[in-house]
Amino acid sequence: MIPTARPAAPATLPAGTGHAPCHHGEILQGVFLDGAGRRCAGLVTLPMAGPGSRARFRRWPGTSPQALTVVPADRTKAARAAALAVAECAERTGRPPCGGELRLTGDIPVGLGMGSSTSDVIATVRAVADSYGLRLPPDTVARLAVRAEQACDPLMLDRRPVLFAQREGRVLEVLGPALPPLVVVGCALGGGAPVDTLTLPAPTPAEADAGEVRAFERLRALLRRAVATGDVRLLGEVATASAWRGQRALCHPEFDALTGIARRVGAAGVQIAHSGAVAGLLFDPAAPGLRRRVRGCLHALDAHGIPATRTFTTTEEIPHGPAHRGVDRPAGPGPARRRARLPAL
């Protein structure tokens, strides 16, 4: 699928570009009921501005769809997404599918549970669509992303807080227009070592205990209320409860220290990626003494040997849209993606 030499083909077509953000792990993840009462794995991610993936795709008309090159060559999920997106866009425009060249750049650490692979995939789909002069709707992007990587995060929806069925690529519930404003003190558990998600126990929704499903549905209702009322404290309670349930699979040794720090410095709660090592302490930006609380949090993390990463707010803007050429910087092979820490602010 990825030849070593570029086929002879016209190079006059403009390249399409695409961008996708990352996230900072989950606020809530578990097994939920859809509108028909069917069990579904679902999650709500914590949006994060800054790191992201950028893609540039140039079509080679007249070549075989298998004549696809990807730089860096190890982005196999993005390669699958490119082939799927080419087929989708060719069908929509009535043009024959063809090969092309995909180039990816990005600064999302891998293995920390920040959606790096989904970001690559969505940026790729957006770049391919842009090369055809199209802007695919989010549900189509989600469908292609699930086909490319079996499960995906809701990054195609940008900042909207949704309960998302990651294995099916569909929204179970729109929780509201936006999360309450948060200040997040990020950190990396396990020394920032990447987590191999394939080794984690992953029971299917059908295997979930009925009591567990009821517990997750209660957390869903509480999160819905937190978003509707802007209640940061309630959102923090939901995130902490979800992190506690995820801890049974992840077994982070720093978990008790992290929740203890949150209590001492007056954080609203903690959130931990359910498929990685990134974590955050959540603060209400309107709480009195916020700077003092954040400084105390950073000192406490350091005292426990937990590396702080990035302190950010959820109100920062995220660049988005597949056809905004001014947003995406020219992509190139670039250095290999970093495997550990986020840059500290």
Q: Which domain holds residue 152?
A: 16-313
- Please give the tally of structural domains in the chain: 1
pLDDT at residue 54 tops 70? yes
Tokens standing for 280? 């955050």
Reported as a single tens digit per residue, the pLDDT across 13-31 is 889 999 999 999 999 999 9
* Assigned domain for 89 exists: yes
Flag whether pLDDT at 340 surpasses 70: no
Domain assignment present for residue 10? The answer is no
* Beta-ladder partners of 16: 57
- CATH no. for residue 151? 3.30.230.10
pLDDT digits (tens, 9 = 90+) for 100-130: 999 999 999 887 899 999 999 999 999 999 9
pLDDT at res. 55: 98
Mean pLDDT value across the chain: 86
User: What is the three-class DSSP state of 218?
Assistant: helix
Q: Which helix (H) or strand (E) holds 59?
A: strand 39-60
Whether residue 35 lies inside any domain: the answer is yes
- 193-203 per-residue burial string, b: 16 or more CB within 10 A, e: under 16: ebbeeeeeeee
Predicted pLDDT at 202: 58
Give the start-end residues of each E strand in 290-345.
308-313
Residue 282 lies in a domain: yes
- Answer left, alpha or beta for residue 230, where phi above 0 means left and psi between -120 and 50 means alpha: left
pLDDT digits (tens, 9 = 90+) for 276-299: 889 999 999 999 999 999 999 999
Contact 45/275 with Cβ under 8 angstroms? no
The CA distance from 328 to 19, in Å, is 6
How far is the C-alpha of 42 from the C-alpha of 18, rounded, in Å? 26
**Which of the four pLDDT bands, split at 50, 70 and 90, describes residue 160?**
confident
Query: What is d(CA 164, CA 173) in angstroms, rounded to the nearest whole number?
Result: 7
